[in-house]
């Protein structure tokens, strides 16, 4: 129990089996994992190795077939749906590969949307949103809609939105997959900055070698199992 409180995420013996008709797909098998606070961790592995599944389970978007998942002291695998939504709203930020943003809302409204769900007062959320958009380098683009922003800019809005309410954990599933390498590098630098400045634990996935190099811990998945867990400095 002692050790658990130091960790943002704890997985014990987690397996996920998808059943498609009669075929069972073992997406994850007996995963044990501790992610300490402020960690900046990368999940790598070939396509189909279980990266997305693992992120989804940690984020409470899906439930494990067996095993225990704890995020910020709460048993994600056991929480009822409503509680899970609340946990995601207040404790977890998400960045997906693409189409993260709500197309009819402007950049700043996308950021404000989460705070509105949290019940933050209008003036406060506007101020915070402006601030964070400036921090991710989008000053002056606040009132553009996603369609009027480049792919890299859209991902920056998504990062801003994930971080604005100071969650404990940000999960990013291949956030750079749709970006060119220069833009991807810039985004990774932003994530590193956010990780150190905002005391947030980051778990992101990629199969891009250069992106992996930004991580402080690299986990390699293959066929739903952790095959390597490497600390780097």
Ligand X SMILES: Nc1ncnc2c1ncn2[C@@H]1O[C@H](COP(=O)(O)OP(=O)(O)O)[C@@H](O)[C@H]1O
Biggest distance spanned by C-alpha atoms of the chain: 54
Residue among 26, 37, 61, 207 that touches other proteins (CB under 8 A) = 61
Judged by CB under 8 A, which stretch of 31-39, 67-75, 97-105, 197-205 contacts other proteins? 97-105
The CA-atom distances, in angstroms, between 39 and each of 17, 126, 201 are 28, 29, 5
> Shortest gap between Cβ of 205 and ligand X (angstroms)?
7
Cβ distance to other proteins smaller for residue 16 or 191: 16
Looking up tokens 């077939």 gives: 65
Dist CA 212 CA 216 (whole Å)? 9
Using the rule CB under 8 A, is 89 a contact of other proteins? yes
Using the rule CB under 6 A, is 53 a contact of ligand X? yes
Using the rule CB under 6 A, is 18 a contact of ligand X? yes
Per-residue burial over 201-217, b if 16 or more Cβ lie within 10 Å, else e, is: bbbbbbebeebbebbbb
Q: Is 93 exposed, middle or buried, given 0-12, 13-18 or 19+ CB atoms closer than 10 A?
A: buried
Using the rule CB under 5 A, is 52 a contact of Mg ion? yes
Instruction: Give the DSSP H/E element, type plus range, for residue 81.
Output: helix 81-91
> Shortest gap between Cβ of 53 and Mg ion (angstroms)?
8
Judged by CB under 6 A, which stretch of 18-26, 83-91, 138-146, 212-220 contacts ligand X? 18-26
What is the DSSP pairing of strand 92-95 with strand 40-44?
A: unpaired
Cβ distance to other proteins smaller for residue 56 or 65: 56
> Shortest gap between Cβ of 116 and other proteins (angstroms)?
6
Q: Which residues bind ligand X (CB under 6 A)?
A: 18, 20, 25, 27, 45, 47-53
């Amino acid at each position: 129990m002692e050790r658990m409180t130091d960790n943002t995420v704890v997985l014990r013996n987690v397996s996920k089996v998808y059943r498609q008709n009669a075929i069972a797909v073992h997406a994850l098998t007996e995963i044990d994992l501790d992610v300490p606070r402020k960690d900046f961790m990368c999940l790598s592995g070939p396509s189909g190795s279980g990266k997305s599944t693992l992120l989804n389970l940690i984020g409470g978007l899906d439930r494990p077939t067996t095993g225990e998942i704890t995020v910020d002291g709460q048993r994600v695998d056991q929480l009822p749906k409503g509680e899970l939504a609340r946990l995601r709203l207040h404790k977890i930020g998400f960045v997906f590969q693409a189409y993260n943003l709500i197309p009819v809302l402007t950049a700043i409204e996308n950021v404000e949307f989460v705070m509105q769900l949290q019940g933050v007062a209008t003036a406060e959320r506007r101020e915070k949103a402006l601030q964070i958009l400036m921090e991710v380098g989008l000053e002056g683009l606040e009132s553009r809609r996603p369609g009027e922003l480049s792919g890299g800019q859209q991902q920056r809005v998504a990062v801003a939105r994930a971080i604005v309410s100071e969650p404990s954990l940000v999960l990013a599933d291949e956030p750079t997959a749709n970006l060119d390498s220069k833009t991807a590098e810039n985004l990774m630098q932003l994530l590193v900055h956010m990780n150190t400045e905002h005391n947030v634990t980051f778990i992101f996935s990629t199969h891009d070698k250069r992106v992996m190099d930004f991580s402080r811990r690299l986990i390699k998945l293959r066929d739903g199992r952790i095959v390597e867990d490497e600390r780097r400095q």
